[in-house]
Structure 1
């Protein structure tokens, strides 16, 4: 997907720095995500991805620089109202009671882990929840209890939960965590479908595995030690050279059938580390 300047910015970070104590976790990162764009945020463990996602989700304020989410400048906006327009998919989301899938989806309206006492969804909200479950292939599971679900079903239910408030921005925080190969592929197909069912919605997906990128990934931001390595259209950014730089290890990237994969670049490793390469 090409950059389309006529689309409205949904998320803008300008020269953002974030410090915790005397440690600088994010250093001078800039990013502009527009309507309908689907960004991957890639980097090794400890690169600053989680902190950056906190800024994108209006959960964290920058130490310096500016963050605009849905046109609102952090520090000058009521955060609770803003967060209702941001969908967040986190596979580590805790659900402590045996809610049904439909109830889990409805908690996306209240922004809570449980359904609040004395809160009742409207008929339109119930219909919206059922429509999303049908859209994501879970209509037959609406009454199933959370503890009985597979990890893949939980992943799709959490996407439905994030979508029920009709967000303009969807944040996916390592959504494939804990999934086997089949469940991962089903979840990625679900994410790909969203570009057709929610064409104006923008998304940012965090991962450190190239195999977990949906085919609809349009752009990528690569970071290392809290700094930008490269940013722009995915086809130009997700390359062997940039991934090697971001992960500080010789990686060969392959792009086939609109999906990425990575493996150790053994010839380059031999040059860098003086190791013999088997014939």
Structure 2
């Protein structure tokens, strides 16, 4: 096995010089990221920086135009094998939620991921699967939704349905994109409690949580990838190295990129986040949670 192949097997996610452009706009540029298998990571950055685009590539729902990404040892390229690889990945995101039929029963939404996992989309669910789905929905306070329709759910309820669905998959790679979207304080804290249990569980799953709120980093997540705007010199060098990129900066901001990877303690400093958001911030850890306030 070559050294490159060993590297790709060692990491759940390996991105190298990755770029993505659409309609003459470069959204991501020069993304380099290694997430070892079995670790808990946070993908953190401002709105509109390309976080959801990057995790869509991790979930093999989008593919880079430039560079490459390997997920669980498999290159993220289209092909007949893509569905087989996707069964090892569980994604909870609002964009995926929009693909679900509005008249679907939330219980079926949660359970249906097991059909994909076992490679049979037509078989009936077992009583054990129904019980497991109801148990996890009860943990997240939404067992009362069984028998209703997705169209009747609030945004917060839909978010919790998608989280339950992803957790039930027992996937090798679990990706939660903004898992507290649409939740009030009580709902958010319930989710944080349950995701903290997931984060501290003794298992081999790799878990990535995407957020732009420090307060929404659960217990057990100890590594972070910060995303921000690539600087102009690095952007120019990247475009020179990849002349196939067809994009323009006219009327567009600089694309997003990964600007730091490491531990939460090293990444979540007042200076680093202040520079990222252009604010004079006071970043603190309170118990197992993080917070940031603008200095007055």
Shorter-chain TM band: 0.7 to 0.9
Which of 101, 108, 123 is residue 103 of structure 1 equivalent to? 108
- Is 1:210 the counterpart of 2:240 in the alignment? no
- Name the residue aligned to 1:83: 86
- Name the residue aligned to 1:172: 176
Which of 264, 288, 291 is residue 234 of structure 1 equivalent to? 264
- Name the residue aligned to 2:14: 12
- Distance (Å, rounded) in 2 between the aligned partners of 1:248 and 1:31: 24
Aligned pairs for 1:25-174 within 5 A: 25-75=27-77, 78-91=81-94, 93-94=97-98, 95-110=100-115, 119-136=123-140, 138=142, 142-143=146-147, 146=150, 152-174=156-178
User: Kindly tell me: are residues 148 and 25 of structure 1, through their superposed partners in 2, closer, same or farther at Cα, counting changes over 3 Å?
Assistant: closer
User: Kindly tell me: are residues 8 and 160 of structure 1, through their superposed partners in 2, closer, same or farther at Cα, counting changes over 3 Å?
Assistant: farther
- Distance (Å, rounded) in 2 between the aligned partners of 1:146 and 1:204: 26
* Equivalences, count: 256
Give 1:144 deviation, angstroms: 5.6
User: Kindly tell me: are residues 23 and 156 of structure 1, through their superposed partners in 2, closer, same or farther at Cα, counting changes over 3 Å?
Assistant: closer
8 Å Cα contact 1:49-1:206 kept in structure 2: yes
Give 1:140 deviation, angstroms: 6.2
8 Å Cα contact 2:270-2:282 kept in structure 1: yes
- Distance (Å, rounded) in 2 between the aligned partners of 1:156 and 1:256: 26
1:200-255 residue CA offsets vs partner (Å, 9 max, x unmatched):
21111111111111122211111112122211111111111111222233322111
8 Å Cα contact 2:172-2:205 kept in structure 1: yes
RMSD over equivalenced CA pairs, Å: 2.8
Report the TM-score, using the length of structure 1 for normalisation: 0.80
8 Å Cα contact 2:178-2:210 kept in structure 1: yes
- Is 1:245 the counterpart of 2:280 in the alignment? no
Segment drifting more, 68-77 vs 213-222: 68-77
Segment drifting more, 207-216 vs 128-137: 128-137
Segment drifting more, 222-231 vs 101-110: 101-110
Structure 2 stretches of 5 or more lacking a match?
Answer: 1-6, 230-255
User: Kindly tell me: are residues 197 and 227 of structure 1, through their superposed partners in 2, closer, same or farther at Cα, counting changes over 3 Å?
Assistant: closer
- Distance (Å, rounded) in 2 between the aligned partners of 1:130 and 1:176: 20
- Distance (Å, rounded) in 2 between the aligned partners of 1:71 and 1:128: 29
8 Å Cα contact 1:39-1:219 kept in structure 2: yes
User: Kindly tell me: are residues 181 and 133 of structure 1, through their superposed partners in 2, closer, same or farther at Cα, counting changes over 3 Å?
Assistant: closer
- Distance (Å, rounded) in 2 between the aligned partners of 1:254 and 1:163: 30
8 Å Cα contact 2:43-2:211 kept in structure 1: yes
